[in-house]
Amino acid sequence: MKYTQFFASLMMGAALLSIQPVYAAADLDVSTPAVQSITQSMKTRTGKLSEYYASGAVGFAKDGNLVVRDASLVPLPKRQEVSRLVADENQDRAALYREIARANNHPEWEADIRQTFAQRWVQRAQSGWWVQQSNGSWSQK
């Protein structure tokens, strides 16, 4: 009986190791007109947001979005603009994840693609920028 349980456990472990996340098969660098348009919009906005990343006012959330972490670090006359920039960026990010999933003919992969990009944003953040950890806490990179 113990041998049978061991063998069953071994087979289950081998089966689990052979399963790859769906996004591992996705082409995350797909370039469709929709993806190109979204990424161009995001590139244009990056220059406007970079000072707020550097100040700590805006951070990279664990869910792949941006957040206004500390509005007090933004001069009062600019707060509405920063909130709009963050909202626009999050809208483009959601569209990007959706379009990449569609371009891969797997719209159901959208959540996995979002998670992969969330990790990429954190990895690519510059030193001193704020990122949210998986437990919800914030730290400077």
Which tens digit of pLDDT belongs to each residue from 34-52? 999 999 999 999 999 999 9
Please give the pLDDT value at position 1: 44
pLDDT at 100 over 70: yes
Report the chain's terminal Cα–Cα distance, integer Å. Answer: 52
Q: pLDDT by residue (tens digit) across 106-140?
A: 999 999 999 999 999 999 999 999 999 999 999 99
pLDDT band at 14; cut points 50, 70, 90: very low
Please give the pLDDT value at position 27: 87
Please give the pLDDT value at position 2: 40
Reduced to 3 states, what is the DSSP secondary structure of residue 30? coil
Mean pLDDT of the chain: 85
Q: CA 108 to CA 92: how far, in whole Å?
A: 18
Q: Please report, for the chain, how many H helices and E strands are present, in that order.
A: 4, 4
Higher pLDDT, 26 or 132: 132
